Structure 1
Amino acid sequence: MTLVSEVRLRQILDSRGNRTVEADVITESGGFGRAAAPSGASTGEYEAIELDPTEAIASAREHAVPRLEGQVYVGDQRDVDRTLGAADGTDDFSEIGANSAVAISMAAAKAATDVLGTPLYQHLGGAFRGDELPTPLGNVVGGGEHAADATAIQEFLAAPVGAPSVQDAVFANAAVHQEVHDRLDGRGIAAGKGDEGAWAPSIDDDEAFELVDAAVETVAEEFGFEIRFGLDMAGAELYDADEEAYVYRETTRDADEQIAYVADLVDEYDLAYVEDPLDENDYEGFAELTDRVGDRTLVCGDDLFVTNVERLRTGIEQEAANAVLVKPNQIGTLSDAVDAVELAVENGYRPVISHRSGETEDTTIAHLAAATAAPYIKTGAVGGERTAKLNELIRIEQNVSTP
């Protein structure tokens, strides 16, 4: 395999109009890979550190690039990522920035596929594991940190669990998104869009539940397969440490009340997925909720685990949650993200590969989900930076199903 000959870093715009880091990796044989770092609005306390893009690029050029150029082979992804970690020298990428690290990590993987002439998912699958395709979860109504004056709950997600193909699932999620719009319009409720392209109407959570439930039922009848829905509650954002309570628009709930509330929602709406229902430090509460509803829904830790194998191992020991959200930029490299997937799978947890609220046209996570046989991927339902991943999944599906 060929050595890295050059790493180029620049600032580009993400979907929110903020600056982020893009990396090009060029090899001695002319292989080329390009990738860009996403950025979250609702971020966990324990995530790898994202630096200001100017600072991240300057630090990566000083500390990481000299260790990569002429020193590392792009075909060995783990060596690339070990080199990034060694160049940073911290446990949270606070020196070169997780945004620089993940952009370089993903660009190196793409450069390797360019040299090999293979799809990215195949290269990552060869290095890691997997050959199955995920079901996409589509954000159709949003609030919380992603939209002002909307629902307290951050995301209402269409979950086309009965879709016979990725393409059918993608189209179903888009149809639910449109059905929600039509129902809002029929009620005379105006709605802009939040960070991830979901509708962000000025309605309360109860009305959103009724609206999404009806939209999902209508589209399921039209498409002829089962569609359920799920939530990202962003519990750490709802939790007020001073009050020791979860603060909604007009309601507060203590931890026990929050667990009971979520359990009732699972029962009432047959929820397929509940992400971050509790605070990012509440392993005990996650364990209690999982014990109550984990046999019929995914209880997924995002801020609880932050794609970190040590935090995930703690959760596994306490039986907190039964699924883990995996975001490469949250931990810094592809290898670290895959380590979290593999630890989850070994212990019966379901991995869910995820986008961020501030996204780019980069499609790496679609390939990562395919490569690791992740059962689900979160990447929105509409919007160019979201449909880039969804359309790539459709292409991957056609590629793997064509003899």
Structure 2
Amino acid sequence: MTRITSVSLRRVLDSRGNATVEADVLTESGGFGRAAAPSGASTGEYEAVERPPGEAIAAAREHAVPRLEGVYAGDQRSVDAALRAADGTEDFSEIGANSAVAISMAAAKAAADVLGAPLYQHLGGAFRGDNFPIPLGNVVGGGEHAADATHIQEFLAAPVGAPSVSEAVFANAAVHAAVAEILEERGVPAAKGDEGAWAPAVSDAEAFEIVDEATDRVEDEVGFDVQFGLDVAAAELYDAERDAYVYGDEERSPDEQVDYVADLVDEYDLAYVEDPLDENDYERFAELTERVGDRTLICGDDLFVTNVDRLQEGIDVGAANSILIKPNQIGTLSDAFDAVELAERNGYGSVISHRSGETEDTTIAHLAVATDAPFIKTGTVGGERTAKLNELIRIADDAV
């Protein structure tokens, strides 16, 4: 009943106006699934390979689609194994991780459609009343997401005390609005970056002041704990020739970077710090985790790239205490689940994440619920971001 009968691929727009890959999967019983691949701007050196969409679609039609016809969509590992076999490389450089992940997610949706079940249930999750992923909302951004803004890539609202997913979602939107009010009060104009965060031409130090004030204002309004966190995206700041992190005219040595981030955790009670160091610096990731990991999540994105081998290397030395999970970073849902399971077995948290170039696809909302992830990065505003947030609200409402 759930055998795949057809896989269709097309180019569609992502949130930056670039082309990406969308897949439709149909089963013999009429089950249908559609999914689209996101695309990152700040990408890790070790990510699976995203090919130009036209090339990825042509390669997938030639190599993957014939292998997938007749495969049981309900067996996600069989679907993803067929994609791996069709590609024949370790990094999806043949058919492209963008084609692979679109097909993988679409097949899961088709299987859920046959069952008449929500995707998160098909993926194995059980939503439990007061246990939901806390959305991390990007409210001030720079780095690779916006020109002439902060060096730190993302300042993230973290409504850790919210009693429901709905209240968490609206708290993040309130922080985003409060940032706009504070910028206006200071006479600072601001456009928006790739993910809808404000991108003012302010220093990192002033951005900390603004976000700290915004979260305090919202915390007073909502009556629960609203903290904030960071995606430093330090690999983009690290200059290997100088062996230094370059913040405009200021440089920090790797040891100074560890001290800088540790001091920020202490000063601002940060709930979350992603990629505070270069993607190859396991040693200092471990040092930072030892210093502040009992008080905050130190999350590896470029460090781990949703890859179990890199995650195991980090576990072995105590680098970070959580992993960012991006299915397109590794190519399939099965590979993403493997990373979550390895993290969980070793006491690491998993943070399910969007990308800067997104679509209206809501798969990651279901993945976050299915894996019982403590956090999900979705952004705060913008149709492609609110699509995930509204889906989280619907899941919570349907599960009551």
User: TM-score range with shorter-chain normalisation?
Assistant: over 0.9
Question: What whole-Å deviation, never above 9, does each CA across 1:284-338 have from its counterpart, x for those lacking one?
Answer: 0100000000000000000000000000000000000001000000000001001
Using structure 2 for the length normalisation, give the TM-score: 0.99
Shift of 1:153: 0.2
Q: Which runs of 5+ in 2 are unaligned?
A: none
Per-residue deviation, 1:172? 0.1
Could you tell me how far 1:400 is from its partner in structure 2? 1.2
State the number of aligned residues: 398
Residue 206 of structure 1: aligned partner: 205
Q: Which amino acid aligns with 1:8?
A: S
**Take 2:2 and 2:11, find their aligned partners in 1: how far apart are those partners?**
27
Q: Give the drift of 1:86.
A: 0.6
Identical amino acids, percent of aligned pairs:
76
Alignment correspondent of 2:346: 347
Match of 1:385 in 2: 384
Local SS of the residue matching 2:51:
coil
8 Å contact kept, 2:127–2:399: no
Question: What is the aligned partner in structure 1 of residue 146 from structure 2?
Answer: 147
For 1:260 and 1:297, how far apart are their aligned partners in 2?
Answer: 15
Q: Kindly indicate whether residue 59 of structure 2 is the aligned counterpart of residue 66 of structure 1.
A: no
Contact persistence 1:220–1:226 (CA under 8 A): yes
* 1:305 corresponding residue in structure 2: 304
Q: Distance in 1 between matches of 2:144 and 2:251?
A: 18
3-state DSSP class of the match of 1:292?
A: helix
Q: CA RMSD in A?
A: 0.8
Check whether the contact 2:155–2:211 (CA below 8 A) recurs between aligned residues: yes
What SS is found at the alignment partner of 2:22?
A: strand
For residue 265 of structure 1, report the CA deviation from its aligned partner.
Answer: 0.2
CA distance in 2, matches of 1:345, 1:99: 26
Distance 2:222 2:132 in 1: 20
| Displacement of 1:130 | 7.1
- CA offset at residue 188 of structure 1? 1.3
In the TM superposition, what whole-angstrom CA distance separates every residue of 1:131-167 from its partner, at most 9, and x where no partner exists?
5420000000000000000000000000000000000
1:75-114 superposed matches below 5 A: 75-114=74-113
Kept in 2, the 8 Å contact 1:130–1:372? The answer is no
Whether the aligned pair in 2 keeps the contact of 1:138 and 1:379 (CA below 8 Å) is yes
Alignment of 1:153-168 (within 5 A): 153-168=152-167
Distance 2:97 2:294 in 1: 35
Please report how far the alpha carbon of residue 250 of structure 1 lies from its aligned counterpart in structure 2 after TM superposition: 2.1
Aligned to 1:46: 46
| Alpha-carbon spacing, 1:333–1:130, altered in 2? closer, same or farther (3 Å) | farther
Contact between 2:127 and 2:396, CA under 8 Å: does it hold in 1? Answer: no
1:4 maps to which residue?
4
- Report the TM-score when normalising by structure 1: 0.98
Kindly provide the amino acid, as one letter, of the partner of residue 158 in structure 1.
A
Unmatched segments (≥5 aa) in structure 1:
none
Aligned equivalents of 2:172, 2:249: Cα separation in 1:
30
Q: Which amino acid aligns with 1:182?
A: E
Q: 1:2-401 residue pairs with structure 2 within 5 A?
A: 2-69=2-69, 71-125=70-124, 132-401=131-400
Indicate if the aligned counterparts of 1:48 and 1:98 stay in contact, CA closer than 8 A: yes
Q: Check conservation: 1:42, 1:234, Cα contact below 8 A.
A: yes
SS of the aligned residue for 1:9 comes to strand
